[in-house]
Amino acid sequence: MRKFFLGMQDELFIIEETDQGYNQYSRLEGTEPIRIAVDPGNKNRVYCATYGHGLWKSEDGGNSFHAIGQVNSYHEPMKGQGIKSAHLSAVAVHPYKKKNGNHIVYAGTEPSALYFSEDHGESWTEFKGVQNLPSKANWQFPPRPFTSHIRWITPGFVDENHLTASVEFGAVIRTANHGETWEDRSFLSPLDAHTILAHPERPGQLYAACGDGFMAAGHSYSESEDEGKTWTYKSEGLENHPYLYNMVLHSNDPEDRLVSAAESPLKAHQSSLYSTIYRKKGEQVWKEAAEGLPKEGAYIHTLAADPVENGIFYAMNNLGLFRLSAEDDRWERLSVQWKDKFTSQHPTSLVVTE
């Protein structure tokens, strides 16, 4: 059975699939869940990054959460340890790099800082070299130009010490030695990579869905075959919707990609306007693949792949949760009870587990 974790604007909404239908419940009410990550070694261990309310962890599949990563406990003197900002912007778990049997966990914040944990998030170490990169002087998040944040964290499949991260807005940075040294953005690399994915069947390759296409024609989607050293833009077909936000890859076919797209940032993040989904297989041009999705009033979609059946995808927006089967080219809405308040909220993340 599947479990869906939906990051909504003011809560984590969890949907459990059963033989009788769906069970639904809310957690972390009053927070702003930004990213969700599940430990590949223990599917009941779930991390949730919130914007302004810190980092949280569940050991029971989302039934209960407790805060982790604090600099110090209440009433204790400042120790200078832990995650220094409560404004989390990213969280990820390495698929195979471990320490003492524990999968390494990563967290990113606003202002831009990157951390890792070797004990399931109970203690944290900052990758301080990130702060010394030359491009940092130009990092800024347009709605809040006085700051920036770590947007995405991507462990590599070539070497367990390879790690890539994107800064919104300003750089894609990388390390080949797990943070001992960092490489700044390379020539012509994306400046606004919203999602960066890797695939176990294509080691060394990175896939980036970018906001760059809104500013520079042809820079909506990019791929790297050398862990982010060089990038090639493959945006043919996205001319009408050049602003990309989220992306998902087919579980068994890294040449099958889906992205959420809009004409501009304004139209992506305004519920009264239109956003869509495109699909690219192999070297074909991108083609719109949004049949069955809301045509109006939908924030830009968040995407996920099915963990059980290959070729099944999910899209979530403020109007519902939708499924695309391998046999059909039409999205179908799942029969879950959608809260009225969600229709005016901007969703942030979607994770599907067994």
Please, is 89 exposed, middle or buried when counting C-beta atoms within 10 Å of its C-beta (0-12, 13-18, 19+)?
Answer: buried
Q: Does CATH number 2.60.40.10 belong to domain 32-185?
A: no
> How many whole angstroms from its chain centre is CA 74?
31
Cis peptide before 169 (omega within 30 of 0): yes
pLDDT of res. 77: 65
Strand order in the sheet with 149-155: 149-155, 163-168, 171-175
E strands within 28-87?
Answer: 33-39, 42-50, 55-58, 66-68
Q: How far apart are CA 244 and CA 61, in angstroms?
A: 31
The answer to whether the beta carbons of residues 123 and 131 sit under 8 Å apart is no
> pLDDT value at position 344?
92
* Distance between CA atoms of residues 273 and 266, nearest Å: 8
Residue 104 · residue 92 · CB < 8 Å: no
Same fold, 32-185 and 199-354: no
User: What are the structural domain ranges in the chain?
Assistant: 32-185, 199-354
Please, what is the Cα angle at 122 between 47 and 73, to 5 degrees? 110
Q: Does 2.120.10.30 match the CATH number of domain 199-354?
A: yes
At 79 the pLDDT is: 61
What count of other Cβ atoms lies within 10 Å of the Cβ of residue 186?
A: 17
Distance of alpha carbon 14 from alpha carbon 270, whole angstroms: 24
pLDDT tens digits, one per residue of 253-304:
999 999 999 999 999 988 677 899 999 999 999 999 999 999 888 999 999 9
Give pLDDT, residue 74.
Answer: 66
* CA–CA separation, 281 and 254 (whole Å): 9
Q: What is the pTM of this model?
A: 0.96
What are the residue ranges in the chain where pLDDT is below 50? none
Sign of the dihedral through C-alpha 75, 79, 80, 84: negative
Q: How far apart are CA 258 and CA 249, in angstroms?
A: 6
Give the C-alpha separation, 217 to 47, whole Å. 36
8 Å CB contact between 126 and 115: yes
